[in-house]
A and B are shown apart, each in its own frame.
Chain A
Amino acid sequence: MLRTTTGVLARLTINESKTSSSAFALEFVRWRRKPRWLPVAKSKLYRVPERKEQNAEERAELMRLHNNYKLQMRSLRQYLREEVLRLNVTTTADHIVLTPEQEEAEFARCMQENETWNQKIAVERNERLLKERERQAVEIRERLEAARVREEERMERIEEIVRREKELAKTFITHENLETAIEQALANPVDYNFSIDLQGNIYRGRTTLPGGKGTPATSGVQDTEVQQTIEASN
């Protein structure tokens, strides 16, 4: 069966050498079959497969030959399996056989070697640990110093805040100067209204006119007052 494809996919496959020359490639679809899970095809629905006639003699002979072959192969496999097991047990090809005394001596030698290695490694380890301990001590000292500096800075910052607050506390309105503060506020009413012209000039006050008595309110008269009032209200 043939299926036409564009060259893009075909070029990725193995038939590149055959098909890359033509823009319209042909791909051979070989293993095309109905998947097992699909139902019987409509065209095959009422098909009754014919039962093949078997020659009884031939069948008996084939059965005998088949059984014979299976028996031979089974016996041979068992023999080879046992042979391999036996060889594994008895062979000395892949390892050296030692007498018990030799084994003992070999073991003692191994132990001694292990001991020397252990000692060598212990010396190295102690040196390393000593170094590490010193390094750790230095690190801890540095960190303690850094913590002390940090704490001092923090205390300084706190002192600063307290000093500033104390400064400010002088302007606070208390019970004693409440009356004078009220009187002062009534005597100096603050007008926060302003208007703005196209040039961006600001005219402070509700009734100020451009070119009038207020003029552009950059004179700062009200500004200082506003400032004072804000501070007082704090």
Chain B
Amino acid sequence: MSVVKYIGRTTDFRGKSLWEILGNLRDYGVGRLIIRNKFQRYEEPCYMRILKVEVTPHDPAKDPIRKVAVTVEKTWRGVINPKPVTIYRTSYKPDYELIPKEEESKYTNNTKKVSEQILANSIEFPPLLREFIRQETGVKEPLMKVHHKVNHNKLTRLAKEGEKPTIECTMGLGTPASPKLYEGVL
């Protein structure tokens, strides 16, 4: 009984590259379900259904990694992308996994959605600037606009007029993510 021992850097990826999976399937696996293991940390379903596979030229002598252009219908955190997405640049990552046909329902029946998160619109000023503005304008608690980053797959939205945001923005420390770390300090 031989023992297999891996040597080298550890990785967060688990699985195979896209070509390793699709190259062995009939019709290049069109219609099958593929997942990225990196995204399985989310509770909401993340999977891709293959629509089209385009094999690209490859010279193993020049470049050991093999890429393939795959057009997929992408579902990420329970949201189905309205347009098909082409995966090419990330197709070499050994992080894909093929889902057997009988297990596909486990992903497709998962109807969990991201709960709606509302971002705060305004934030208070830092202490010294606040004092200056108080002296100049006489406003007791001046507020400035929050500059949120714009992102193509942001699942949050800005608070509307008179709405209570679920994610508060403060100039202070905020509520700790791990209160254990602050035991005896705060």
Contacts and interface: CB of A to CB of B under 8 A. Distances in A.
Interface of A: 48-49, 51, 57-58, 60-61, 63-65, 68, 71-72, 74-79
A72 B177 contact: no
A60 B8 contact: no
B9 A61 contact: no
Contacts of A51: 9-10
Contacts of B177: 57, 60-61, 63-64
Nearest to A68: B174
A153 B145 CA distance: 96
B176 A64 contact: yes
Nearest to B171: A72
B178 interface: yes
The dominant DSSP class at the A interface is helix
B169 interface: yes
Contact of B123 (A48, A49, A60, A72): A72
Interface string B117-136: 00000010110010000000
A71 B180 contact: no
Contacts, number: 54
15 contacts: A48-B9, A57-B181, A58-B181, A60-B177, A60-B178, A61-B177, A61-B181, A64-B174, A65-B173, A72-B169, A74-B149, A75-B144, A75-B147, A76-B126, A78-B144
Contacts of B178: 57-58, 60-61
Contacts of A58: 178, 181
Interface string B3-14: 000011110000
A75 B145 contact: yes
Interface in B132-183: 144-149, 169-171, 173-174, 176-178, 180-181
Contacts of A76: 125-126, 129, 144
A105 to B, nearest CB: 36
Task: Pick the most buried of B7, B129, B177: most chain A CB atoms within 10 A of its CB.
Answer: B177
Contacts of A78: 144-145, 147
A79 B7 contact: no
A79 B125 CA distance: 10
Given A71-B169, A75-B147, A61 B176 contact: yes
Nearest to A46: B7
A72 B126 contact: yes
Contacts of A61: 176-178, 181
Given A68-B170, A71-B147, A79-B145, 20 more contacts: A49-B9, A51-B9, A57-B178, A57-B181, A60-B178, A61-B176, A61-B177, A61-B178, A64-B177, A65-B173, A68-B174, A72-B126, A74-B149, A75-B145, A75-B146, A75-B147, A76-B125, A76-B129, A78-B144, A78-B145
B10 to A, nearest CB: 5
Contact of A79 (B8, B144, B148, B174): B144
